[in-house]
C-alpha cells in the first residue's frame, strides 16, 4: 500500500508539473514540443522494455490484430490530446486545460452510457447535470465553447475507453510504446512542417535540446509509475488521486502564471467541483454496498 501510494502520488505530481516544463520550452513551437515528446517518449519506452526484458511479450502484442486496432485508435486520440494540451499551456490557457481534466470523469460517465450500455445512478445524473451547467456558464464567460477543455476531456475519455477495450491484453508500457511508434511517421511529418515554416529549435542549443528530450522522457515515467501504483492500490484511491493533476495545474495557473479568474469562471469551476463531490460520494457509497 505504501509503495503504491508513493508511486501514485509521484506520478500525479509529475503530470501536474507539466505546465512548468512546457513554459520552460517556450523557445520551441507547440508543434515541435509534441514532436520531440513522441520521439523521446518512444525511445524511453523502448529502453524500459529492454531493461525489463519484455521484448517477447511486446512482439506478441503486435501480432494481435484486435489489440493493434485499439492501440492505433488510442494513438490518434493521445496525439490530439497532446497537441491541444501543449497549445493550451503555451497560449496561457492553463486554467481551461485543467478544466478538461476536472470534467474528464464526467465525460467518462457519459461515454459509458453510450458505448458500454451502463446505467447511471441518481447521484451520477446529478453530477453530469452540474457539469453540463458549468460548461454553459464557462461558455458565456469565455465568449465561446471552452473547446480546449472539451477536446482534452473527450479525447482522454475515449482514450480511456480504448484502453478499457484492450483489457488486460497489453501492459501500460507496451501500449504506450506501440502508440508512440505508430505516431512516429506523424511526428516526423510535423517536424518537416516545422522546418519549412520556421527554424527548428532542437539542435540550436545544448540546454534547449536537452530540455525537449527530457520532456519526452518525462512523458513515459509517470505512466510507468502509475502502472505500478494501480497494482498496489484500491481503485477508489486511484479515483480520488486523479484530481491531483488538474488541481496542481489550476494552482500553478493562478499563483505562478497569473491567469485571470473572473467571478463567472469561479462559479463555473465551483459547479464542476460540486459535481466531482457528488461523483466521489457516489463512488464510495456504491463500493460500500458492493462489499456488504
Cell 508500457 found at: 173
Q: Cα dihedral sign for 153, 156, 162, 163?
A: negative
Q: Which residue has the higher pLDDT, 110 or 42?
A: 42
Angstrom distance (rounded) from CA 201 to CA 194: 9
Model confidence at 93: pLDDT above 80: yes
Model confidence at 14: pLDDT above 80: yes
Q: What is the pLDDT of residue 169?
A: 78
Say if CB 143 and CB 264 are below 8 A apart: no
Model confidence at 40: pLDDT above 90: yes
Q: What is the pTM of this model?
A: 0.89
Say if CB 178 and CB 62 are below 8 A apart: yes
Lowest model confidence (mean pLDDT) among 41-50, 95-104, 282-291: 282-291
Q: What is the pLDDT of residue 284?
A: 72
Using one digit for the tens of pLDDT, what is the confidence trace for 111-136? 877 776 777 788 888 888 888 899 89
Once rounded to an integer, what is the mean pLDDT over residues 21-34? Answer: 93
Model confidence at 283: pLDDT above 80: no
Q: What is the pLDDT of residue 288?
A: 67
Question: Which band of pLDDT confidence, cut at 50, 70 and 90, is reported for residue 280?
Answer: confident
CA nearest neighbour of 39 among 163, 175, 153, 186: 186
Angstrom distance (rounded) from CA 85 to CA 4: 27
Residue 105's alpha-carbon distances to 9, 36, 59, 108, 123, in angstroms, are 19, 29, 33, 5, 14
Residue 286's alpha-carbon distances to 15, 47, 86, 98, in angstroms, are 29, 41, 36, 27
Q: What is the pLDDT of residue 186?
A: 95
* CA atoms in the 13 A half-sphere facing the CB of 91: 12
CA nearest neighbour of 131 among 240, 285, 274: 274
Say if CB 172 and CB 225 are below 8 A apart: no
Angstrom distance (rounded) from CA 88 to CA 82: 10
Question: Which band of pLDDT confidence, cut at 50, 70 and 90, is reported for residue 291?
Answer: low
Using one digit for the tens of pLDDT, what is the confidence trace for 175-192? 899 999 999 999 999 999
Amino acid at each position: 500500500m505504501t509503495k503504491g501510494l508513493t508511486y501514485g502520488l509521484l506520478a500525479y505530481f509529475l503530470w501536474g508539473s507539466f505546465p512548468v516544463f512546457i513554459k520552460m520550452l517556450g523557445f520551441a513551437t507547440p508543434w515541435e514540443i509534441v514532436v520531440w515528446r513522441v520521439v523521446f517518449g518512444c525511445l524511453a519506452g523502448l529502453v524500459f522494455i529492454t531493461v525489463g526484458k519484455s521484448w517477447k511479450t511486446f512482439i506478441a502484442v503486435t501480432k494481435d490484430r484486435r489489440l493493434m486496432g485499439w492501440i492505433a485508435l488510442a494513438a490518434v486520440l493521445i496525439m490530439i490530446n497532446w497537441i491541444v494540451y501543449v497549445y493550451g499551456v503555451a497560449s496561457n490557457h492553463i486554467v481551461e486545460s485543467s478544466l478538461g481534466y476536472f470534467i474528464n470523469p464526467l465525460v467518462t460517465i457519459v461515454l459509458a452510457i453510450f458505448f458500454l450500455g451502463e446505467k447511471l445512478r441518481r447521484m451520477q445524473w446529478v453530477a453530469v447535470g452540474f457539469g453540463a451547467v458549468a460548461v454553459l456558464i464557462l461558455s458565456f464567460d469565455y465568449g465561446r465553447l471552452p473547446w480546449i477543455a472539451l477536446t482534452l476531456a473527450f479525447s482522454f475519455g475515449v482514450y480511456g475507453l480504448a484502453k478499457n477495450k484492450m483489457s488486460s491484453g497489453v501492459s501500460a508500457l507496451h501500449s504506450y510504446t506501440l502508440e508512440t511508434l505508430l505516431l512516429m511517421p506523424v511526428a516526423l511529418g510535423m517536424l518537416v512542417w516545422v522546418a519549412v515554416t520556421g527554424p527548428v529549435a532542437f539542435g540550436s542549443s545544448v540546454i534547449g535540446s536537452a530540455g525537449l528530450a527530457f520532456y519526452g522522457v518525462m512523458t513515459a515515467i509517470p505512466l510507468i509509475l502509475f502502472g505500478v501504483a494501480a497494482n498496489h492500490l484500491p481503485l477508489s484511491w486511484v479515483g480520488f488521486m486523479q484530481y491531483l493533476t488538474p488541481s496542481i495545474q489550476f494552482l500553478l495557473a493562478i499563483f505562478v502564471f497569473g491567469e485571470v479568474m473572473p467571478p463567472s469562471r469561479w462559479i463555473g469551476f465551483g459547479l464542476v467541483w460540486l459535481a466531482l463531490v457528488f461523483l466521489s460520494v457516489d463512488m464510495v457509497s456504491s463500493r460500500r454496498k458492493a462489499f456488504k
